[in-house]
Structure 1
Amino acid sequence: MTAQTLSLVADIGGTNTRVALADGADVRKDSVDRFRNAEHGGIGDVIQRYLDKTGVSADAITGVCVAMAGPVHDGVGTLTNLDWRIDKAVLAEVLTAEKVAVLNDLQAQGHAIGHIADDDLQVILPQPYANENAAKLVIGLGTGFNACPVFDTSAGRFVPPSEAGHVSLPASIAELHPILSQLEDSGGYPSVEEVLSGRGVCHLHKALHGSVMEASDVLAAMGRGDADAVVTGTLFVKILGDVAGNLALSHLPFGGIYLVGGVTRAFTPHLDACGFAQAFRSKGRFSDFMEQFGVSVVSDDYAALTGCATHLSHL
């Protein structure tokens, strides 16, 4: 690793932040470290802790890119589920890097597409042939929900930010109608994220059955064949398929759809049995049209870090 290419990349989730070193577009997997957000006052504290642990000098870092779970506008972001503000000024308090970038976490995942090993991609729906520059779509389910398109142009890759988790739940799913009032957020709005997220599984199960179960418990109960858990999981997957199909029609990602995030990976074994493909393609007279979009699950937990490094290498 040379001093001219040493970068620091970070992925801030709702609970933990992962930090690593990168040489150009390549993340050093052995340098990845994880920090609990609740134990730190902000990203500056996390980066300083990382530098202290690794013994790397702040002056040696020539680029820094931070991906965060929240909206980013003009290089300034506030996390949706954490009271941290992220901007160049905050990063400059601990680093003097020449290249600095702040991305939404799904933007970072978008920049990673094409740099993920085949072993870290599980095909859910086969991808028909498409031009290598065809639009792609990343959909993430974890602490929250979001999605963003990926465009490869002559000027480089463009991954616009989005807050897709805060659109309304689809009216086409009849099973949701009697329980919508129980799926509203703090503002009284039934958004997609109130179902398609970690806490969303819990919300959905309680609305359907009146009992409180964490997402991990619902999944475990599904594995045992528990009837209530299967109903919850099946509706969850149906909503995911419907929403993913809506997003596909909005962005026309003929280059493929990539599902990411911890909740996505946890539900992957159930997507087929719970009817993901049917829900995804059930779009009336456009149902046959939907067969043009392939869907894969990304199992690489460090993809956002790879996306940060890749983005920095092209600045």
Structure 2
Amino acid sequence: MSYPSDTTTLVADIGGTNTRVALTRGTDLLSETVSRYRNAEFDSLTQVLEQFIADQGGVDPTAACVAVAGPVHNGTAKMTNLDWAVDEATLARATHAETVAILNDLQAQGHALGHLPDSAHVEIVKGAKSDSNQPQLVVGIGTGFNIAPVHNTPNGRIVTAAEAGHAGLPAVTSQDRALADYVAQEYGFASIEDVLSGRGLSHVYGFLTDGREMTGHEIMQACANNSDPAARETVKLCTRKLGQVIGDLALVQLPFGGIYLVGGVSCALGPYLTEFGMADAMADKGRFSDFVAQFGVYVVQDDYAALIGSAHYLNAAGE
């Protein structure tokens, strides 16, 4: 199918492993155009976008927005887990779009809130009734870990960037401190992302098994199959650590509009978060326990959320 020039926008979600690209009309995602490319098969984002444009019959979008897994500053993105240069000039050349924008991937997820079907949200922790006019918080767990605070104001939505995954890992119990020491000995510093991410699952499994190796995917499979007690203990410990981190973030951000977990690891952990006590770990804040229990937590199960958020960002920027 061909699309007339300047009638569509191009949106992309660049992860550590794959890049998803699609076209939109306004804020409507054209699902038939959604394409996924393995980053290892390309040398640059330019090559991915040129391939997508060719796959779509040489489409000429009027605007383009890419969401990247890494910090963005002055129109330039530094990918955390991928050696690609991403900047507005490169994006404009690759797409021939008149308007271009680069967002952190969690910012794009924040712009998607309120624009996803109800079926995309699974409630994990029932807090007080969430009010979308109040601050919200997106927490991403996948190849890495990060957050994006969301503020809905009379002048529009503001989604601020962060690099929270590289903050220090909280240590409450003696086991927590031993885990932090284990990670620090291996990597020089015990960060949140070293435990709450795909590779973080492997680190925790190694900690619990005196160095045995297993990928995050294998750990989740073994947990589901109940074939390895250490895998279940890994998921249980990661669930508790996630609760601790989210409880801390809730006190910092006060997200009365809800906390939204996104990313592949979030979805994989989702079925175990209630069973393994994430809510209790989250609310274990002494005299502030009842206060933290007010915040609802949801897992977002929508692979296209960052694409949808990018489209809404472009639409709002053009108003």
Residue 150, structure 1, aligned to residue 150, structure 2: yes
Partner Cα distance (1:171, 1:135) in 2 = 27
Note closer, same or farther for the CA distance 1:260–1:203 as it changes in structure 2 (3 Å cut).
Answer: same
Note closer, same or farther for the CA distance 1:233–1:105 as it changes in structure 2 (3 Å cut).
Answer: same
Partner Cα distance (2:207, 2:131) in 1 = 44
Residue 24 of structure 2: aligned partner: 22
Query: Alignment partner of 2:293: what SS?
Result: helix
Answer yes or no: is the 8 Å Cα contact 1:11–1:105 preserved in 2.
Answer: yes
Residue 80 of structure 1: aligned partner: 80
Answer yes or no: is the 8 Å Cα contact 1:142–1:264 preserved in 2.
Answer: yes
The one-character-per-residue Cα deviations of 1:254-310 (angstroms, maximum 9, x if unpaired) are 000000000010111111111111011111110000122111100001100001001
Note closer, same or farther for the CA distance 1:257–1:5 as it changes in structure 2 (3 Å cut).
Answer: farther
Residue 239 of structure 1: aligned partner: 241
Query: Alignment partner of 2:95: what SS?
Result: coil
Residue 169 of structure 1: aligned partner: 169
Q: Which runs of 5+ in 2 are unaligned?
A: none
Cα shift at 1:85: 1.5
Partner Cα distance (1:186, 1:111) in 2 = 36
Answer yes or no: is the 8 Å Cα contact 1:173–1:239 preserved in 2.
Answer: no
Answer yes or no: is the 8 Å Cα contact 1:195–1:236 preserved in 2.
Answer: yes
Cα shift at 1:2: 6.8
Partner Cα distance (2:237, 2:48) in 1 = 39
Q: Which runs of 5+ in 1 are unaligned?
A: none
Give the partner amino acid of 2:225: R
Residue 109, structure 1, aligned to residue 106, structure 2: no
Per the normalisation by structure 1, the TM-score is 0.95
Answer yes or no: is the 8 Å Cα contact 1:17–1:35 preserved in 2.
Answer: yes
Partner Cα distance (2:224, 2:92) in 1 = 48
Give the partner amino acid of 1:94: A
Cα shift at 1:188: 0.6
Q: Please, what is the CA RMSD of the aligned residues?
A: 1.5
Cα shift at 1:251: 0.4
Answer yes or no: is the 8 Å Cα contact 2:130–2:296 preserved in 1.
Answer: no
Residue 292 of structure 1: aligned partner: 294
Query: Alignment partner of 1:237: what SS?
Result: helix
Cα shift at 1:176: 2.0
Partner Cα distance (1:239, 1:96) in 2 = 45
Per the normalisation by structure 2, the TM-score is 0.94
Cα shift at 1:218: 1.5
Partner Cα distance (2:202, 2:4) in 1 = 47
Answer yes or no: is the 8 Å Cα contact 2:92–2:98 preserved in 1.
Answer: no
Residue 199 of structure 2: aligned partner: 199
Residue 8 of structure 1: aligned partner: 10
Q: Which segment drifts farther, 1-10 or 261-270?
A: 1-10
Q: Percent identity?
A: 47
Give the partner amino acid of 1:134: Q
Note closer, same or farther for the CA distance 1:250–1:143 as it changes in structure 2 (3 Å cut).
Answer: same
Residue 221, structure 1, aligned to residue 222, structure 2: yes
Query: Alignment partner of 2:169: what SS?
Result: coil
Answer yes or no: is the 8 Å Cα contact 1:2–1:23 preserved in 2.
Answer: no
Answer yes or no: is the 8 Å Cα contact 1:185–1:194 preserved in 2.
Answer: no
Residue 125 of structure 1: aligned partner: 125
The one-character-per-residue Cα deviations of 1:106-145 (angstroms, maximum 9, x if unpaired) are 0000000001111111011124234431000000100000
Residue 89, structure 1, aligned to residue 89, structure 2: yes
Answer yes or no: is the 8 Å Cα contact 1:184–1:194 preserved in 2.
Answer: no
Give the partner amino acid of 2:175: E
Residue 179 of structure 2: aligned partner: 179
The one-character-per-residue Cα deviations of 1:53-107 (angstroms, maximum 9, x if unpaired) are 11033xx311100000001112210100111111111112222322211000000
Residue 44, structure 1, aligned to residue 46, structure 2: yes
The one-character-per-residue Cα deviations of 1:26-76 (angstroms, maximum 9, x if unpaired) are 11111100111111121111110001111033xx31110000000111221
Query: Alignment partner of 2:249: what SS?
Result: helix
Query: Alignment partner of 1:129: what SS?
Result: coil
Partner Cα distance (1:244, 1:223) in 2 = 24
Residue 265, structure 1, aligned to residue 264, structure 2: no
Query: Alignment partner of 1:94: what SS?
Result: helix
Query: Alignment partner of 1:270: what SS?
Result: helix
Q: Which segment drifts farther, 133-142 or 214-223?
A: 214-223
Answer yes or no: is the 8 Å Cα contact 2:144–2:197 preserved in 1.
Answer: yes
Partner Cα distance (2:185, 2:101) in 1 = 31
